[in-house]
Structure 1
Amino acid sequence: MFKRVLLKLSGEFLAGESGFGISPETTAALARRITDALDGTDIELSIVIGGGNLWRGARNGQGMDPATADYIGMLGTVMNAMALQDAMESAGRPTRVMSAIQMAAVAEPYIRRRAIRHLEKGRVVIFGGGNGAPFFTTDTTSTLRALEVGADVVLMAKNKVDGVYDSDPRKNPDAKFIAQATHLQVVEQRLEVMDATALTLCMDKGLPIVVFDLFQEGNLPRLFRGERVGTLIQS
């Protein structure tokens, strides 16, 4: 059973049916899903959320300096973190937003020991601003923050994808579900779990990953209770 958990969320989870921007209703529903799963547990939860609902450097930043495009994306993750914080606190869960890019008026600066202290006090810590440097994805940020705060696992939340398959189940009806694999098997078979930098770091440090469908009712509470859900990747 995991005690300290890092949950990786997609920015699109906040967008609603439009697929773009931040929907207050959709964000509130997501916050309730997370807070309800935490109720009655002693899980210490941190969250990294992407910014794809607001900005994707490779798509929106065409013609721009790549580093500038990435910084804009990192600012988008802070906006998402603030929206999620507001929704989670409205649902009764104390949170802190910590940003790798300093913006003291809206978020605490990321300080590792302070983040750990927040977790120990039962606050959900939402990490924004990526890792403060361009050319890294939020997958890599998730892995880095998980290792820094001593998380037991990275939970890779998906929507309508219940785990890892040997091929894309949306294109191949014969795709086979993989309940458990090693990091090396995921690398060798080029399974789409997270980017290569993040996956290699997890493999080097022995950090487990669980890929699961966040929106399948009951999945997150089951994970927090220590039950097997989705695909487990470990050394």
Structure 2
Amino acid sequence: MVDDQTHPRFKRVLLKISGEALMGDQGFGLHPPTVQRVAQEVKNVRDMGVEVCMVIGGGNIFRGLQGSAQGMERTTADYMGMLATVMNALAMQAALESLEVHSRVISAIPMDQVCEPYIRRRAVRHLEKKRVCIFAAGTGNPYFTTDTAATLRASEMACEAIFKGTKVDGVYDKDPKKFPDAKRYGDVTYDEVLQKHLGVMDASAIALARDNHLPIIVFSLDEPGGFRGILAGQGTFTRVHG
């Protein structure tokens, strides 16, 4: 992945994590020690000289699709989910800045009192100044997931890869927590992910990554030092590419 630990192959990456990744073992909401641990992972990568942006889901607070399944109108439910991502982004910003990492929360839905509106050129400038950009509120549109938002923002920011932090160390043909014989892929193509329904990201996100030749690195966020380790050519992961 890299020439050595001081010369990462990727100069600019986007880290996509689910909202559930921030709730620890409590089953709901934000778990401050977990948020702090993820922030430390981001700091370690930023300290390598890598420019980092983030997209965080909102499923730990509210998931639009589940809300609509329970009878709520889908558009309203999705907007509530977008607001949940803003809350998570603000929590991550606070954790990063406690580590003296400058960051900006940038929302697709304008809310000037708490964060910046999304302006692509301004966001790129923040990255060039080594600030961590946390993109919130998805794409600003209902019916699109934060996976799609992550792929869209990574493409707009000219990121060289998307790092998808999950509970497992890569992409498997079935759930490794339920099936001991589950097979892990080292490399898999976008088309295989779509054809085999491997569940890396939703179909529109995978298609957008494929069209923009944007590799997706799937790794375990629960592995301490995993994010930095992969950029340093170590650890276990799955690479989704063309």
Q: What TM-score range do you get, normalising by the shorter chain?
A: over 0.9
When the two structures are superposed, what TM-score results if normalisation uses the length of structure 1? 0.95
Q: Could you tell me how far apart the structure 2 residues matched to 1:170 and 1:129 are?
A: 31
Per-residue deviation at 1:226?
Answer: 4.5
User: In the alignment, which residue of structure 2 is the partner of 1:223?
Assistant: 230
Q: Which runs of 4+ in 1 moved over 3 A?
A: 226-229
Q: Percent identity?
A: 50
Deviates more, 1:225-234 or 1:166-175: 225-234
Per-residue deviation at 1:227?
Answer: 4.5
Q: Is the 8 A contact 1:183 1:203 kept in 2?
A: yes
User: In the alignment, which residue of structure 2 is the partner of 1:52?
Assistant: 59
Question: Is 1:24 paired with 2:38?
Answer: no
Q: Is the 8 A contact 2:14 2:55 kept in 1?
A: yes
Matched letter for residue 38 of structure 2: L
Q: Could you tell me how far apart the structure 2 residues matched to 1:69 and 1:166 are?
A: 31
Task: Choose from 180, 197, 208 the match for 2:215.
Answer: 208
User: In the alignment, which residue of structure 1 is the partner of 2:122?
Assistant: 114
Q: Is the 8 A contact 1:71 1:134 kept in 2?
A: yes
Question: Is 1:234 paired with 2:229?
Answer: no
Per-residue deviation at 1:213?
Answer: 0.3
Matched letter for residue 185 of structure 2: I
Per-residue deviation at 1:225?
Answer: 2.5
Per-residue deviation at 1:191?
Answer: 1.1
Q: Which runs of 5+ in 1 are unaligned?
A: none
Question: Is 1:187 paired with 2:216?
Answer: no
When the two structures are superposed, what TM-score results if normalisation uses the length of structure 2? 0.92
What is the SS of the residue equivalent to 2:25? helix
User: In the alignment, which residue of structure 2 is the partner of 1:178?
Assistant: 185
What is the SS of the residue equivalent to 1:18? coil
Aligned length: 233
Matched letter for residue 184 of structure 1: D
Aligned-pair Cα RMSD in Å:
1.3
Q: Is the 8 A contact 1:43 1:224 kept in 2?
A: no
